[in-house]
Chains A and B, each alone.
Chain A
Amino acid sequence: DSGVTQTPKHLITATGQRVTLRCSPRSGDLSVYWYQQSLDQGLQFLIQYYNGEERAKGNILERFSAQQFPDLHSELNLSSLELGDSALYFCASSKRTGAGELFFGEGSRLTVL
C-alpha cells in the first residue's frame, strides 16, 4: 500500500461526457502528479501540483484540467470524452517538487464507449 488513494478504480462512460478522478496523496506529501497510461504506451506525464499550485505541465489536452485543493487532494477533470481517452490514469505523490521517487496510487481505469 503506497498510501496514495485514487477513486474511482473503474469508470465506464460515453463519448462527450465529463468525469472527475480524485486522488489523495500520502500523508505529508505536497506534490501530486497525474500520469496517463494508454494501451501499449508508457506512463505519459500530464500535470504536477505542489501545495496547491501548478508546477509543471506535460502532454495534457485542453479538454483536461486539474487542481489541488487546500487539503492537498487533487482532482483530474476530463471533458468532452473521446474513445481515445480510454486509459489508466495514475496519481502519484512526493514530498518535494523535484521529481525523484514517486509513490503511485492503484490507478483509475477509464473506459469511454
Chain B
Amino acid sequence: QVQLVESGGGLVKPGGSLRLSCSASGFTFPDFYMTWVRQAPGKGLEFLAYIDTSTQTTYYADFVKGRFTISRDNLKDSLYLDMNGLRVEDTAVYYCAGGRYYYYRYGMDVWGQGTTVTVSS
C-alpha cells in the first residue's frame, strides 16, 4: 500500500545536527513533490521545506532557511532532511508528506506517521 516511513529522530543537544529520512513505497515516488512538516507539542502544523519532483527546486520556511536542507534520491525512493544548529524550539514531531504533480499540483495526500525530534541539554 501507499506508505511513507520516517526515521532518524531522537534526542540531540542544542547546536547539534540530525538527518531525517523518509522511505516511500506503494507509489511512483519520482512523480510526487515532497515536503517536511512539523508539529511542536500541543501546537499546529508548520511547513518546513519543499522539493519538486526533479530535485531542482526547493523552498524553505524562513525560520529554517540556512539551517535545514531538503533533498531526495529518486533511485532510492527516499527523502531527507538535514538539520543543523538545532534549537530547543525545534522540538517537534516531523512528518514527511507529498502530493502528485502532473501539470497541476495536487494536494499533499500521502503522509508518514512522524518521527520525534527532541532538542534538549
Q: Do A and B come from one complex?
A: no
- B residues with a Cβ closer than 8 A to A are none
- A residues with a Cβ closer than 8 A to B are none
